[in-house]
């Protein structure tokens, strides 16, 4: 197979995982449908049902903090909220990658790779938005939230889904006022 065909196959595979690519991250903020398409948690949970081997992870993953005290949340600035979500996503991604690296070939590894890409996509969008508004967010540091550890991939997916539909969505709704 020549190099052009190999590149075409690789680009097709990458493109299939990035089903919703935006021309700018602001589209993520202003278009709820774009966020809905980007959320792959339900697909991952459905595939987990067919993959009993993936139910138990090779090592623990720190679950992201998903509980929100709304009165406290509302007192935080948008950059502080974004930093909190970025911290949760970054920590989750690090643990998922560690579990992925220790997994055997098969459906479990495939699920962890897809979860890795999904978390990374959110991180990329929020990081790019952060860079666009960096002067606004100078000096904001999110306090570390110590979530519990789990080796249950179903629970990890549940917490990731609630992080997306909770803190991330509330953050986006606040940011969407600029649309």
pLDDT digit string, tens, across residues 13-43:
444 444 444 446 677 888 888 888 889 999 9
User: Could you give the count of Cα atoms lying within 13 Å of 175 in the half-sphere of its Cβ?
Assistant: 25
Calculate what percentage of the chain has a pLDDT beyond 70: 76
CATH class of 27-178: mainly alpha
Length of the chain: 179
Domain chopping of the chain, boundaries: 27-178
pLDDT at 146: 66
Q: What is the reported pTM?
A: 0.78
Contact 66, 91 (CB under 8 A): no
Extract the tokens encoding 120: 């990374």
pLDDT digit string, tens, across residues 66-87:
888 889 999 999 999 999 999 9
Which whole number is the average pLDDT over 112-124? 95
Mean pLDDT, the chain, whole residue set: 81
């Amino acid at each position: 197979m020549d190099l052009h065909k190999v590149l075409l196959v690789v680009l097709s595979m990458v493109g299939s995982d990035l089903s919703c690519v935006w021309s700018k991250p602001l589209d993520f903020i202003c278009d709820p449908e774009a966020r809905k398409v980007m959320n792959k948690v339900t697909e991952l949970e459905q595939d987990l049902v067919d993959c009993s081997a993936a139910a138990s992870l090779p090592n623990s993953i720190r679950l992201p903090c998903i509980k929100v005290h709304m009165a406290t949340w509302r007192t935080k600035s948008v950059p502080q909220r974004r930093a909190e979500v970025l911290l949760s996503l970054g920590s989750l991604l690090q643990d998922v990658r560690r579990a992925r690296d220790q997994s055997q070939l098969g459906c479990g590894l495939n699920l962890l790779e897809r979860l890795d890409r999904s978390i990374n996509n959110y991180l990329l969008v929020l990081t790019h938005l952060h860079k666009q508004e960096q002067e606004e967010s100078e000096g904001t540091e999110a306090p570390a939230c110590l979530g519990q550890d789990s080796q249950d991939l179903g629970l990890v997916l549940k917490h990731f889904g609630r992080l997306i539909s909770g803190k991330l969505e509330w953050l986006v709704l606040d940011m969407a006022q600029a649309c």
